[in-house]
Amino acid sequence: MVTGGGSGIGRAVAKLCASRGDSVAVLDIDGSAAGDAAAEALDAGAAAAIGIACDVSTEENVATAFAQAVKTLGALYGVFANAGMDTGAFLHELPFETWKRVLDTNLTGVYLTCKHGLQYLIQGGTGGSIVCTSSPAASVAFAAGGAGAYSASKGGISALMRCMAVDYARHGIRVNAVVPGATETKLMWANVDPAAMAEMRQRICAEVPIGRLASPAEIALAVGWLLSDDSSYVTGSHLVCDGGILAKASISV
């Protein structure tokens, strides 16, 4: 089960899982994008795939999507809680409605995805793996500023992940987070003026120690490992895939 699977990292994870022969349910608020990603998953080797329109901030949507996916594809064994958004503004100028929309999508969306995923994983009785998408913003403030809502949501995801890892270990369910850095996705440029994108990309590449943005496929490899039995003794952890951002001091001395 992949939320936010219609594009970016979510779509790359769906394709990677498909290449391993998994059955894949792709959830996205854009139902057409979810359907396209499911078709791509089938082409990549998925045993079966389904695309489902789902607003993860609405529990009825999430419950219906999980029920449909399990009925169509069979027992659940992995969840990538990834759907997210970012609308930036400095806090004193941030409308409450925007704050609520970001938190509802990013944090409440992960809560609802994990809540219903856990119910099916416990019911299945064979354990499983959940991966949540956090961010460097959960640990440090972005230098450009105006990311208060996004950072709060990602900090909440990291804290929630740790609690779930402890609470559900006895059921054989592992819960971890991936921490992507600057990645070439639509979300990366959500708050950037299109006219400034080229300059901003150049600046970011100069600031990231590895010297470039990640591709979604690179982040997907990390998620795929956390979802697989290769990480069978890993739970409650953050797998940081940020090109060295969090390892770097903010001053140039």
Helix (H) or strand (E) holding 166: helix 148-168
Structure confidence at residue 206 (pLDDT):
87
Look at 137 and 197; give whichever has higher pLDDT: 137
- Could you tell me which CATH class the domain 2-240 is placed in? alpha beta
Taking a C-beta distance cutoff of 8 angstroms, is the pair 245, 208 a contact? yes
Mean pLDDT of 16-27: 98
205, pLDDT greater than 90: no
Structure confidence at residue 145 (pLDDT):
87
Structure confidence at residue 253 (pLDDT):
63
Structure confidence at residue 160 (pLDDT):
98
The fraction of the chain above a pLDDT of 90, given in percent, is 83
Structure confidence at residue 233 (pLDDT):
98
Q: Which two structure tokens, joined as six digits, stand for 92? A: 């004193």
5, pLDDT greater than 90: yes
Mean pLDDT of 168-188: 92
Residue 43 one-letter amino acid: D
CB neighbours of residue 36 within 10 Å: 17
Q: Which residues are catalytic?
A: 150
187, pLDDT greater than 90: no
Closest CA to 112 of 89, 83, 77, 91: 83
69, pLDDT greater than 80: yes
204, pLDDT greater than 90: no
pLDDT digits (tens, 9 = 90+) for 87-120: 889 999 999 999 999 999 999 999 999 999 999 9
Structure confidence at residue 140 (pLDDT):
94
Structure confidence at residue 155 (pLDDT):
98
Residue 48 one-letter amino acid: A
Distance separating alpha carbons of residues 9 and 185, to the nearest angstrom: 7
Report the DSSP beta bridge partners of residue 26: 2, 51
**Cβ partners under 8 Å of residue 204, min gap 6:** 182, 213
Q: Domain segments of the chain: what residues? A: 2-240
Structure confidence at residue 169 (pLDDT):
98
pLDDT digits (tens, 9 = 90+) for 107-161: 999 999 999 999 999 999 999 999 999 999 999 988 888 899 999 999 999 999 9
Structure confidence at residue 79 (pLDDT):
98
Closest CA to 110 of 145, 155, 75, 69: 155
Question: Helix H segments across 7-55?
Answer: 8-19, 31-44
pTM: 0.94
Structure confidence at residue 191 (pLDDT):
66
